[in-house]
Every structure is written in structure tokens, then in C-alpha cells.
Structure 1
Amino acid sequence: MVLTEEMTLVERAMEAIRQRIAGRTLVPGAKLPSIRRFAEDMQVSKSTVVEAYDRLSAEGIIISRPGSGFYVAGQLAPLSLAEIGPKLDREVDPLWVSRQSLEAGGDFLKPGCGWMPASWMPETSIRKALRSLSRANDTILTEYGSPLGLSELRQFLARRAAGYGIDASPDQIILTGSGTQAIDQLCRFLLEPGHCVVVDDPCYFNFHALLRAHRAKVVSVPFTPNGPDIRAFEQALIEHKPKLYITNSGLHNPTGATLSPVVAHRVLKLAEQHNLTIIEDDIFADLEHEHAPRYAAFDGLERVVHIGSFSKTLSASVRCGYIIARPDWIDGLADLRIATSFGAGHFSAELVLSVLKDGSYRKHLDALKTKLADTMGTTAARLNKLGIKPWIEPRGGMFLWCELPQGVNASDLAQRALARDVILAPGSVFSITQSADNYIRFNAAQSQNPRIFGVLEDLLR
């Protein structure tokens, strides 16, 4: 971080000390300037320095020795590349895009990340809900929620699922900390180390990382504009006898493709024949212009588990996801919830419910989808000019799955772009078979800065 005019005087004083520590001007155990001296150096009041030192002490960066002054705390950590720039030497693996996107500073452009710009989210509705919750009773503000989660939100989600043709009672829904936690809980519930899991190729890169953590054997089948390649899917079931198939329903990540009814019926028929459970991640549901088929709607939740969250359209900071499953699994999932995270997030659930019940959320979604449609067209046109061709024209969402010009390796391009403060999502991180080295995923919502295309043009020369 650097000193900026937007900082308060206290923040500027704190940052000045942090920079001296980072630059080794102040080493562990070194005494800080006196309050009077530092106030003179910074041209601020002594009370400003007192508050700055108190806040740095609360963060554990410095310590106070009564009667002596303030000193730098702790031992000096080894010099990290994260302190001086992007991790250019990190191998491009399934966690690469997430790590770079989450850890990068504000100067980085992130057309490879998987979320909306902050300015596109319903900040006004969230603040309104927070004000309302600030006046709530102590139970909401301080206590654990039930293992299943807030009853009113589960009732809302049951009505919402019915709009997609999924018939489920509130008692078939369990809230989780996020969509990712929902998949993690289901993997804990259904898998043993060594079990086989089928994924799409390409698929959401965090599926790879999560399944690796569960020590599962992962096989993939090619994904087409209408869903998984049926012949390859059947062959994988015969050959590997997988326990699970994890996929996106609605809008597919990273391709933006939409499942067709014919393919959905064939997949479900094969799942029944081979005793396969399907986890469909429906995290992009609210970004559709028209509802695509859902496996859970056709299956009646016999072999399909439906999950989702609101991180893409409401807030990634408010962690709240859900699982919709067959009735006889809910007690087991609730017990697992207690064992791994105890109670549900009461405050987050109340906040999400408050925003979803606000009539402004539907208006927000309508405006968001319109903005995404416009942005998608603009981004595709800019990419086409560079010889980067979208695989399909998605029916909604934020992602464009694109083929690079012949001879361009996506991982190499992403590493070189990172040195220019642009984070890309190379196709290799989405592909178990590493068969997408000439593809790349663009988030149209995060691709509005012209500098992105200037950097790409330079790197593609």
C-alpha cells in the first residue's frame, strides 16, 4: 500500500510505520519515534499519532512498553515475493487464478477472476439490511444458528427452487457457509479417499483443487455446447465406476454453455444405470435470461443434489450457500455440519434473507443482466479484433470461453500478463487432461478497462 490523499491522517501515520518496517528501516525490537517527534515528522497532531500507535498495537505490529515507548513486535519474516509484487514463479495450477486474484492489490486488473466488480453489487440494499440487523435482538447478533440454518431463508429457497421445477420442502434444505463449502460437505458425506469422481473438461478449477484435498481419483469427459459428451460420459462410467459427477447446471463455468433437455435425460438415465450421484452447482442461477434445464428438476432429487449461493449477485463477503437434497440425507448432513462447523451462520443468513425479500433485489438482477449482456458483446468484439475467438455466444452470465490465436500458450500468456498487473485465467487450470492450453476464460464484467486489451495486443505480437 502507498500513501494516498484519500487516507485519513491516522491511516497515513500507520502506513508510514508499516513502510519503514517493510523496508527494514525499523527492524524487530527497534524503538519507534516518540509520539512528539513522529507528530512533527508527519505534520499531524500528537493525538493522531497516539491513535495510530494504539491501532498498530492492536494489530500486533508494534508493542507498548510502559514508561519506555513503542517497539516493533515479533521476528522479521523471510522476504516474500508477495511483499514486492506478483508471484511470477508460481506454477500455473488449479489454485493459481484464485490465489493471484484474491491476493493482488488494487492496481491489478482481473479479467480472469470469477466475480463481479464491487460497484456492480447491491451495496445500497446490503447497507439497508445491515442497519436493520443492527437493531435486531441479541440472538441474531451473537448466537449460533441451528445446524439446518435459518428456517425463513430455507422456506424462501424452497419457493425459489420451485421456480426452476425443483420440488423440495424447506426440510430438504441445509444452509452452508458458501457454495464451495456445500460441495466440501457433500464430498465428506459421500466420498472415501480413492473414490472416483467425474468432472467436465473443462470445468470450474476449484472442483479440481477440492477433490484433490479429498484424495479422490478424478476423471473428466469433454464438455460440449449442450452438456457432457454422452459417449465419453458413458465410457467413463463403465471404465471407472465413479461415485459422483460434479458439474454446473444453468450456466456452465468456464464455457458459459447451457445444458440441453436431451443431454440431461441421457445423463440421468446413465446415472441410474451406474448408481451415480450428481452434484449440480447452480451458483449462476440468477444471471440467466431464461431458465435452463436442471438435473434436480428432472430427477426429483433422487440421484441429484442441488447447491448454490449468492456470492455472484449479492455479496462474496457475506458467506451463505445451501444444499437441497433427498430427505433421508439431511440428518446425516446436519450431523456433519455440527462436527465440522457447529452451527450455521445466523447473522449471514438473516442478512441474505433481508436483501432477497427487498423488492430492490429483483430490480438489481434485471439491471445486472442487462449490463452483462451489453458488456459481453463489447468484450467479445474487442477480443475478436485481437484474434481471440469466443467458443460460443453464452445465453447469460459473465464468462467468455475463448480460443487463442494458433501457437499461443495460455499459461505462458497468463504469466507474462501477470508481470503487467493483469490476471488472466488460462485454460489449463480448467482441464484435468491439460487439453485447453490454447483457451482462456474472460470475465466480461471485469474486462472494461482498455489497458487489458492493450496488454494483450502487446503480448500477442
Structure 2
Amino acid sequence: MGEIHQRIAARQLLTGAKLPSIRAFAQALGVSKSTVVEAYDRLAAEGVISSRRGSGFYVAAPAPPLTLGSIGPRLDRELDPLWVARQALDSDDTLLKPGCGWLPAAWMPHENMRRALRAVSRAEPAALADYDTPLGFAPLRTLLARRLQESAIPAAPEQILLTDCGTHALDLMCRFLLEPGDTVLVDDPCYFNFHALLRAHHAKAVGIPYTPSGPDVEQFSRALAEHRPRLYLTNSALHNPTGAVLSPLAAHRVLKLAEEYDLTIIEDDIFADFETEPTPRLAAFDGLGRVVHVGSFSKTLSAAARCGYIAARPDWIEALADLKTATTFGGNRLAAELVCRMLTDGSYRRHVDGLRLRLAHAMGPVVDKLGALGIRPWLLPRAGMFLWCRLPPGVDAADLSRLALERGIVLAPGNVFSLSRSAGAFLRFNIAQSGDPRLFSVLAELLAP
């Protein structure tokens, strides 16, 4: 009964769908046929399913409201990726958040933002009250086109669609390209919200092991041949959670395979401005042919002023603008004008330069303090905020995270990032959120023999 309820909640069985035969379901679950008969009888009594003489059993009840936590293997709620995000977002300032994915508020350019807000507040009334155009604030799209061209990504302003954030951009692309049941390749490990987003779109995610130079190309090739996926969702630079960067060789091989199998790639590049030296972008090699480039300013400027973008092939932009209008109607013009002003007055460039330096200075001490506890980085990233770390032998990241939570610390255990759940010995640390000595004293206590 629980299995059928879960399949209905996960939209794997819709109203009118035929249930497995009693014999097939008994074999699949390893139970007797009489057990399945009783379960089906009880479900029919509840009105969840109905029987049709000579045909079988069918879903009768409408699906309940979508609950993402019920889709896929049930995790302990403390380790559910959505719970990790909710706990970090809902908590007060007394909770330490080395597992979260954003910078401390104190690191953001408050005074520069206040100046920009005052300037935007003096704009003409239409800027403060009207809906934005479907593509979004034109001056910001022009600036973004220039920034992308500096990275060898050939995007004209007309190829750029502003969104409310990076997640909104990814959601629009999934709405645009996916049908329920489509397969999507993701890195293993990858940003945990990719998993949740694909669940929401009823897509099948297939994980590809990630190496220090990019996805395992041999396994990538085998997955393409076996699953014929619609999309590949990835970070090219400063990969989340590992901090790795894509090598030119891996990029060329991935693009060649994508062409062979007619695969679309969505390149989430929200950490681009943390880089001190440019690294390869799939969109630059591909020219926005089958690669869609996504970015935002939530990580570097403000998570409160939500502003992201999609850069894509010209013939897709108009349809994406229609989809954006259908789902949000108008974009966030105030946020777009705020970001545009900070990009043009030079304050954003100075702020990002300072962030890179500050993160570089924070990296070494955090690595040393973790190393003293036997926690070692999988690799030393060139830049950015994340350390993907292996725990001492025999320590389970899930157990450690539960105990740390009881002491007021939110950690990010490896298996929330891993579709195969093969990262049980890893934690992701945000070095910008790992400066409080309490973190290391609690970890030392919990790791003590």
C-alpha cells in the first residue's frame, strides 16, 4: 500500500493509470500474491484505486499535492537536500552554517548597494511600478553580452533572457525542454538542488562520476548510449561541490559526444566571478549551439536582489520569453536596475576583487584546521568557496551531521550531493562560513575516539 501511495505522490502513477498485475507486483516486492490482493482491496476501499473486471486495477483518486521529499528513495529528513537548505535558511544567527552554499552577509557590499538603491529609487515612476519587458532590462542584457564575450561566449543582447535567479533559469529550461520521464545526466556528486529540481519535473536523473578534470568521459559515453538523455546539467568552472574545473580535453570530448547523441547541455556558471584565472566554458567551445549558459548574481552580490539570466541560441529565446511570461508574467526590474548600476559604476568589480582575495586568504587556514582533525580535501580548488573533503576512515558523514546539528551546526553530508549515494565519507565545507572556532572544537569532540 505504501509503495502505491508513494508512486501516486511521485506522479509515477497518474489518475487512470493501470497498476501492475497482482503476480508482477508480488514478484517485484518479494511478497505473496495474497498480500498484494489484500493491499489492492484496502486501497480500493479507500477509493485510491478501482478494479475493472477482466482488465485489472487502475488509479482512481486524483494525485495529492506534489511532495518532493516523497519522490525517489526516502532519506532521513535530516539528510534530505531540501531539508539542509530549509534548515540553513530558516535558522537564526546562532546556528553555524559551514554546510550552506552562500557567503556571510557581512561579506556583501552593503554600502555600495545602499547607494545603488538610492539611485534606483530616484528613477522615473515606470521603473518603480511597471512590469519589465519579456526579455528583461535591456541595458543589463547589453552589459551581460559584453561580459560573456570577454569569456569567448558569443551572446548578443537578444540572446539573453533575464530571470529572477539561477534556479529560475534552470527551471525555465527544464519546463522548455523536458517531458515527464525524460532522462537527464548530472554529475555525481553535483549541486543537490539539481536533484530536487529534476524530481519536480518528473525527470529521471542519471549520475556520471565526476573527476578532477570533469565528468568521467567513458561513463558519460556509456550513459548516452544506454539512456539517450535529453539534457546534461553541470558546472564547468568551480564545480559544486568539488571545486574542480573542466579541462579543455574533457570539454571537447563531452561536446563531441553531445553532438553525436543530440544532447543539450545546461551550463550553470553562477560561480564564474570567483575565478581568478579564466577556465574553459562549454558555451565558448560550442558557441551556444547545443549549450545553454546560465548565471546569476545571488552568490556574489545579494541573494535578496534576485537576478539571473539565460544565454541561448537565438531561435529559443522567443519561446523562453513566452514561457517566462506565462509563469511569472513580468521580471524583477528593480533588481535588474540595481545590478546594472553596480556593474556600471565599478563597485561590483572592486567588490568581487575583494571577495577573491578574502576567499584565497581563508582557504589555507580552513584546510589546515580540518587537516589537523584528519579531514582532507579531495582536491585544492583554484578559487571559490567550497572544499569537498574526505572524513577519517570509518566516519560516516550522515551520522556526523546528525550529531553536529544537535550542537547547532549545519553540515552538508556527501550523499545529499550524490545520486548513487557513494559519498558517505565526504562533507562539503564552505570556507567563508567556517571561521568560527566552535566548528572545529565540535568536530574534534565528535571525531574523538
- Scaled by the length of structure 2, the TM-score of the pair is 0.82
Partner SS for 2:186: strand
Maintained 8 Å contact 1:226/1:263 = yes
Q: Give the whole-Å Cα distance in 1 for the aligned partners of 2:288 and 2:347.
A: 31
Q: Which residue of 2 aligns with 1:99?
A: 86
Question: Is residue 227 of structure 2 the alignment partner of residue 264 of structure 1?
Answer: no
Q: Which residue of 1 aligns with 2:145?
A: 158
Q: Pick the aligned partner of 2:212 from 197, 203, 225.
A: 225
Partner SS for 2:102: coil
Deviation digits for residues 164-219 of structure 1 (CA, Å, limit 9, x no counterpart): 11011000000000000000000000000000000000000000000000000000
AA partner of residue 433 (structure 2): Q
Partner SS for 1:380: helix
Q: Which residue of 2 aligns with 1:109?
A: 96
Kindly report the root-mean-square deviation, in angstroms, between the aligned alpha carbons of the 2 structures.
1.0
* 1:240-319 correspondence to structure 2 within 5 Å: 240-319=227-306
Q: Which residue of 1 aligns with 2:61?
A: none
Q: Give the whole-Å Cα distance in 2 for the aligned partners of 1:379 and 1:348.
A: 34
Partner SS for 1:95: helix
Q: Pick the aligned partner of 2:202 from 215, 221, 226.
A: 215
Q: Pick the aligned partner of 1:335 from 322, 325, 343.
A: 322
Question: Is residue 435 of structure 2 the alignment partner of residue 427 of structure 1?
Answer: no
- Ranges in structure 2 where 5+ consecutive residues have no aligned partner: 1-75
1:91 Cα offset (Å) = 4.0
Q: Which residue of 2 aligns with 1:362?
A: 349
AA partner of residue 397 (structure 1): G
1:358 Cα offset (Å) = 1.8
1:261 Cα offset (Å) = 0.3
1:126 Cα offset (Å) = 0.5
AA partner of residue 166 (structure 1): I
Q: Give the whole-Å Cα distance in 2 for the aligned partners of 1:315 and 1:91.
A: 27
Question: Is residue 127 of structure 2 the alignment partner of residue 140 of structure 1?
Answer: yes
Q: Which residue of 2 aligns with 1:437?
A: 424
Q: Which residue of 2 aligns with 1:8?
A: none
1:366 Cα offset (Å) = 1.2
Q: Which residue of 2 aligns with 1:371?
A: 358
AA partner of residue 360 (structure 1): S
Q: Which residue of 1 aligns with 2:31?
A: none
Q: Give the whole-Å Cα distance in 1 for the aligned partners of 2:431 and 2:392.
A: 19
Q: Give the whole-Å Cα distance in 1 for the aligned partners of 2:175 and 2:77.
A: 29
Partner SS for 1:139: helix
AA partner of residue 170 (structure 1): P
1:137 Cα offset (Å) = 1.0
Maintained 8 Å contact 1:110/1:446 = yes
Maintained 8 Å contact 1:199/1:247 = yes
AA partner of residue 262 (structure 1): L
Q: Which residue of 1 aligns with 2:37?
A: none
Q: Which residue of 1 aligns with 2:69?
A: none
Q: Pick the aligned partner of 1:183 from 170, 175, 180.
A: 170
Maintained 8 Å contact 1:125/1:358 = no
Q: Give the whole-Å Cα distance in 2 for the aligned partners of 1:96 and 1:345.
A: 27
Maintained 8 Å contact 2:78/2:402 = no
Maintained 8 Å contact 1:417/1:455 = yes
1:94 Cα offset (Å) = 2.1
Q: Give the whole-Å Cα distance in 1 for the aligned partners of 2:200 and 2:78.
A: 18
Q: Pick the aligned partner of 1:349 from 307, 330, 336.
A: 336
1:133 Cα offset (Å) = 1.2
AA partner of residue 161 (structure 2): I
Question: Is residue 366 of structure 2 the alignment partner of residue 395 of structure 1?
Answer: no
Q: Give the whole-Å Cα distance in 1 for the aligned partners of 2:125 and 2:397.
A: 52
Q: Which residue of 1 aligns with 2:53?
A: none
1:359 Cα offset (Å) = 1.3
Maintained 8 Å contact 2:141/2:160 = yes
Q: Give the whole-Å Cα distance in 1 for the aligned partners of 2:84 and 2:235.
A: 19
Runs of 4 or more consecutive aligned structure 1 residues displaced over 2 Å after TM superposition = none
Q: Which residue of 2 aligns with 1:194?
A: 181
AA partner of residue 180 (structure 2): P
Q: Give the whole-Å Cα distance in 2 for the aligned partners of 1:143 and 1:384.
A: 54
Maintained 8 Å contact 1:147/1:338 = yes
Question: Is residue 395 of structure 2 the alignment partner of residue 408 of structure 1?
Answer: yes
Q: For the pair shown, which has the larger CA radius of gyration, 1 or 2?
A: 1
Between 1:268-277 and 1:361-370, the stretch displaced more is 361-370
Between 1:205-214 and 1:407-416, the stretch displaced more is 407-416
Partner SS for 2:169: helix
Q: How many residues align?
A: 374
* Paired-residue identity, %: 62
Partner SS for 1:313: coil
* 1:24-35 correspondence to structure 2 within 5 Å: none
Maintained 8 Å contact 1:424/1:441 = yes
Maintained 8 Å contact 2:78/2:84 = no
Q: Which residue of 1 aligns with 2:113?
A: 126
Q: Pick the aligned partner of 2:372 from 385, 400, 413.
A: 385
